[in-house]
Amino acid sequence: MKQIQGPAIFLAQFAGDEAPFNSFESICEWSAKLGFKGIQIPTWDGRIFDLAKAAQSQQYCDQVAAKAAEFGLVITELSTHLQGQLVAVHPAYDDMFDGFAPENVRKNPSARTEWAVEQMMFAADASAKLGLKAHASFSGALLWQTVYPWPQRPQGLVEQGFEELAKRWLPILNKFDEVGVDICYELHPGEDLHDGASFDLFLEATDHHPRANILYDPSHFVLQQLDYLAFIDIYHERIKAFHVKDAEFVPSGRSGVYGGYQGWIDRPGRFRSLGDGQIDFKSIFTKLTQYGFEGWAVMEWECCIKHPEAGAAEGAKFIKAHLIRPTEKAFDDFAGGEPDVELNKQILGV
């Protein structure tokens, strides 16, 4: 068994215009002081990382890694959640997702997609230059508006949708394969890859591409009422990244998993700071350790109640307390001995 690494923090929800969140150096210093040992970097935020430069310059990547190391931090993964989202966008969402793209490609879906694909290619090269083995992203969606089949989906629509999604992602997956990095899709409502069944469809469409893997985040499974522990049993071989994020689902007489268009604080399912929700993290860390997951436990903070800085400070301690040092021997080794063929035959009665 391998030991999960941690604690680490996803910087996306904390980067901002005010110190210490407005520069790579200051946010690293802040993270380290809280007790984090790793950082997952959002590549769309130019205040803390230049993705295009990282893709082209080994010197820049070395400087970024060295700066993190000054504070005792390592880079766990790069993230392209926003760019991955734009690899596949249904026209119904064009206006809302345009905000994820630079101004020069807005109102131009084909140019926006080209930009997103180029960003993913940059991410592959940058990850390789940083010596990373996993990358965090979203799949985008062409089918999400049909997730509840009313009106009834036309025959073959789902298969055709995943064929198109695979067509867009295969060149990216092949690029990541060339540099030896896994793409870890965060299975998330709003994405065509949002649960195990949809991930299976994508695997089939990509001929079970070895670089098509999973960022495991149990919070999204709680909100879908999916068994997040059984999921590990089924998909552990494809789990290559891990977001530690809490959530709760409290059944209501007024709304359910769809949330009734309510704000997060009023929904039956909502994200919480670590330790404040319902997720059984002891069992999650146990299962991941059992199956040999050796990646990073990365805190992603999202909560509609608690202040983010309080959540971050508590999160580092929470993850550290859940890390398991794997045993190197069986607990009953003392009662064993060297194999004795004749004794075994006697016990077996043969």
CB 35 within 8 A of CB 316: yes
> What average pLDDT does the segment 205-209 reach?
98
Residue 273 and residue 177: Cα distance in Å, rounded? 35
- Indicate the Cα dihedral angle 138, 140, 145, 146, nearest 10°: -90
> What average pLDDT does the segment 303-310 reach?
97
**pLDDT of 141 over the 90 cut:** yes
Residue 304 and residue 265: Cα distance in Å, rounded? 6
The mean pLDDT value of the chain amounts to 96
Per-residue pLDDT, 234: 98
Token pair recorded at residue 46? 């130019």
Per-residue pLDDT, 166: 98
Per-residue pLDDT, 333: 66
pTM metric for this prediction: 0.95
**pLDDT of 332 over the 70 cut:** no
Q: Taking Cα atoms as reference points, which of 224, 198, 193, 190 lies closest to residue 90?
A: 190
Residue 272 and residue 275: Cα distance in Å, rounded? 8
Q: Is the dihedral of CA 65, 70, 75, 78 positive or negative?
A: negative
CATH superfamily, domain 5-348, is Divalent-metal-dependent TIM barrel enzymes (3.20.20.150)
**pLDDT of 275 over the 70 cut:** yes
Per-residue pLDDT, 334: 61
Share of the chain above pLDDT 70, in %: 98
> Which position has the token pair 């997952």?
40
> What average pLDDT does the segment 282-286 reach?
98
CA 311 to chain centre: 19
> What average pLDDT does the segment 175-182 reach?
98
Per-residue pLDDT, 304: 94
Higher pLDDT among residues 316 and 342, named by residue: 316
**pLDDT of 329 over the 90 cut:** no
| H-state helical runs in the chain | 24-34, 51-56, 58-70, 81-85, 94-97, 109-129, 157-179, 196-205, 218-224, 228-235, 281-290, 308-322, 341-348
Token pair recorded at residue 208? 């079970």
